[in-house]
Each structure stands twice: as structure tokens, then as C-alpha cells.
Amino acid sequence: MIAVSGSGIAGLAAALSVLRNQKSLLFVAGSAPTAVEIGGVQIAPNGWAALDKLGVGDVAKSLSTKLRSITVRNMDTGATLASLDLSSENYGSISRADITRLLKNEILSIGVTEHVAANITHAVQRGANQNLDIATDCGSTHQVEALIAADGPKGFGRKYINGPDFNVQTPNNTKRVAMRAVVKAKSLPKHFSQPFCNLWLGPGSHFVHYPINSGNDINLVFTLDATSAYDDWQERYFGKNLILGEICKCDNISWTKTTLPTMPFSDCWRRGTAVLAGDAAHPIPPNLAQGAGQSLADAASLKYWLGFNDINQALSGYAQERSQAVSKIFKKATISSKIMAINGPAAKARSIAISLGGSQMLNAWLAEVWATT
């Protein structure tokens, strides 16, 4: 039996990869009640390829909203700096609720061998090529062939594999936060319903909005320094912008603040017969919109490698393949997050550089990230 911990996108997709190999599954879902899933995610060509490999690409497509371009604009002046045509790319948005539900339905249709609504608290490897003993906070214990820990950046897996002191985070006062909301498309001007991913670069901040749910809703994500996210942030950042100012007039927007991960990347994804997947392995800054896509790619890789009878070969094949692939994306996402956080006079230079580079530069930056294997 193979255990998967975590019931986010990564855990569900990893659980599906186990079941696709006709292996019995212990699903350790976590003890926190399922969080309300806010808004949506953009899925790039690599994410869609992974969904296809997991056998749920068509269902996911039917629930997605095709996005036709990425448009980068200056929040202060309103000027368009660059635009990347996506009409020939597999690129779209999907609500978190939909992608979670579709993965759950697929898992349930095959059948989980054992389900535990608890957190893993301990794991002990009895010896090389031996089973792994795991224990949960509801008192249950289990002996498994392997553990795929997809329990997020603060879960058990990352500490077990990388050591308790590895999760160094930046101090609270230099953290970045995302203000997230979903609003009915009819509450905002038509501009917001266009099937584009709009990326606005502002002083020390950026704003992304795109339609989800077939254009009925608009997903809004504004990222800034934690110290600047006080009361009148909407007015301060959007007020002078003719388009974004409309958001300030909308009184029914309920924003949720999410602190963004600042944990480092480790290329060690395996300890004995435990491996990491999803944000537990790669807490990627969301600036390239790749966290969920990479989690799906982890699961597609697991699906392939778990096909090998030798579990050691399977786990090392997976850990090596994915940690190498993700390390490049992690670096790019970190650089992108720094570029998007630029403040002061350098922000002007950023705008000039992006408008000079245009779509070619965007394409060159993203092609490697979106590459499908």
C-alpha cells in the first residue's frame, strides 16, 4: 500500500497517480477541515499535458476558460508594455473548486483503499527495502510501502525529509502578501471579462486578473509587501488608474489576505521510501502561475515511475526527474517575484525594459517553463 498525505491539488493528483497504477492507496487527507477554495488558477501547457497524462485533461478542459493573451501593463500610466498571444497555446484558467472536485470524483470512482482524516505526525523507516511506519494525530498507525508527502510547505513531509531547521523563512516585516477575491463579471466593466490574463505592474506591487467559470466570474490577485497592506490599499494602488479604479467603486468585493511562501528550494526530495510532491517539495512564489501546474507534473511523473515494480527505482527516478526540472522553474519564479516587486525609480527602468523586450522576451522567458516532456 502507498500512502499519500495532503488533500490539496498536489495530494489529490498524486493519489490519482497511485490508483492509475492499480496500487492500493492510503489517503491521509489532513486534519484541518477543507479550506474554502478561493478563486482559480491559470494552467499553462505543461499543466494541461500533465492533466492529460493523469487521464482527466478532457474533463478539466470542459470546466476551464481559455485565455487568449497575457498582457503586461503599467499600473501608474495604464500603458501596455507587452502582450503575448496565446491563441495557439493550451492556456486557460480553472476554478480551484472545479479542479479539486474533478480530481476527487476521479479518485472516488476508482476507490481509495483506506482514508484517514488526520495529519501525519511521525514516520519511521525500519531499514533499507523495509516498510515505512507512519502515525497520525488521530492515533492511527499504518505500515506502508512508500509515502508521497504532498502536505504543503508547512506539513510533515518537508520537515521529515529536509530536517526541522530547513524551512527558513524571511521575517514577517519583509513578507509579501496576496489580496485575493472573486467578483461577478457583471459587477465590473467589460474590460475585465476579456479572455486575457492581465498583469499590471505597480510600485512594489503587481495585480493579476482573469476570467474564470466561463467568464462569469473574475479572479483578482493583488500582491504587495505585508507592511503596505493596510486599510486603504485599494484606493492607494488602483485609485488613479481609469480601469482599476472601477474596482474601488465595487462595494461587494471580499478580499482574503494570503501570506506568500518564502521557503527555499531543496533538491533533496527523498528519504528512504518517502518522497515530496507539490508545494511541500517546491513552495514556488506564484509569480509564474506554476505551483499547481508543477504539482500536476509531479503526479504525472509519479504515474509513470510507479509503473516500475521496484519501488526504489520508482522513487529515485521520480525524485531525480522532478527535482531537476522544478529547480529551474523555482529560480525563474523567484527572479520574476523580485522583478514584480521593484519599487521606486527602478520601476521606470523595468517598464522600459519590458516594452523594449515585448512579446519576444515574454515568450523566451516562459517557453522553458511551459515546455512539456
Check residue 289 for interaction with ligand FAD (CB under 6 A): yes
Which residues from 127-146 bind ligand FAD, rule CB under 6 A? none
The reply to whether 42 sits near ligand FAD by the rule CB under 6 A is yes
Interface mask (CB under 6 A) for ligand FAD, residues 145-184, using x and -? -----xxx--xx---------------------x-x----
Nearer to ligand FAD, 73 or 351 (CB): 73
* Nearest to ligand FAD of 42, 241 (CB atom): 42
Taking CB under 6 A as the criterion, the residue among 119, 162, 213, 262 binding ligand FAD is 119
Long-range contacts of range 31-34, CB-CB < 8 Å, 24 or more positions apart? 31/117, 31/118, 31/119, 31/136, 31/137, 31/138, 32/119, 34/7
- Long-range pairs, 165-173, Cβ under 8 A, ≥24: 166/264, 166/266, 167/263, 168/263, 168/264, 169/262, 169/263, 170/262, 172/226, 173/226, 173/227
Residues 84, 87: Cα–Cα separation, whole Å:
9
30: contact with ligand FAD by CB under 6 A:
yes
Which region, judged by CB under 6 A, interacts with ligand FAD, from 84-92, 274-282, 317-325, 335-343? Answer: 274-282
Question: What is the contact mask toward ligand FAD in residues 308 to 327, using x (rule: CB under 6 A)?
Answer: --------------------
The span of 28-36, 105-113, 310-318, 319-327 binding ligand FAD (CB under 6 A) equals: 28-36
Q: Is 258 in the site for ligand FAD (CB under 6 A)?
A: yes
How far apart CA 288 and CA 320 sit, in angstroms, is 22
Answer yes or no whether residue 202 interacts with ligand FAD by CB under 6 A: no
Strand order in the sheet with 132-136: 120-125, 132-136, 141-144
Contact 337, 265 (CB under 8 A): no
Consecutive H or E run containing 70: strand 69-74
Is 5 or 213 the residue whose CB approaches ligand FAD more closely? 5
Find out whether 272 and 259 touch, Cβ atoms under 8 Å: no
Does 291 bind ligand FAD (CB under 6 A)? Our answer is yes
Helix (H) or strand (E) holding 46: helix 45-53
- Looking at 45, 202, 293, 317, which residue binds ligand FAD (CB under 6 A)? 293
Residues that bind ligand FAD (rule: CB under 6 A) add up to a total of 34
98, 106, 217, 279: which one binds ligand FAD (CB under 6 A): 279
| Nearer Cβ to ligand FAD (26/342) | 26
Provide the edge-to-edge strand list for the sheet that holds 146-149. Answer: 114-116, 25-28, 2-5, 146-149, 274-276, 270-271
**Binding pattern to ligand FAD, positions 216-255, x when CB under 6 A?**
-----x----------------------------------
Choices 76-84, 228-236, 292-300, 324-332; region in contact with ligand FAD by CB under 6 A = 292-300
* Residue 337 Cα distances to 5, 330, 349, 359, angstroms: 29, 10, 16, 19
Helix (H) or strand (E) holding 221: strand 217-225
Counting contacts by CB under 6 A, is residue 285 touching ligand FAD? Answer: no
- Provide the grid cell at 41: 488558477
Q: Nearest distance from residue 298's CB to ligand FAD, in Å?
A: 9
Measured between its terminal Cα atoms, the distance across the chain in Å is 29
- 205-212/217-225 β-pairing: antiparallel
Among 6-14, 55-63, 83-91, 102-110, which window interacts with ligand FAD (CB under 6 A)?
6-14
Among 3, 4, 5, 67, binds ligand FAD (CB under 6 A): 5
Distance CA 57, CA 48 (A): 6
Return the DSSP state at 22: T
Task: Provide the 8-state DSSP code for 337.
Answer: H
Residues near ligand FAD, by CB under 6 A: 5-11, 28, 30, 32, 41-42, 119-120, 150-152, 155-156, 178, 180, 221, 258, 260, 278-280, 286, 289-293, 295
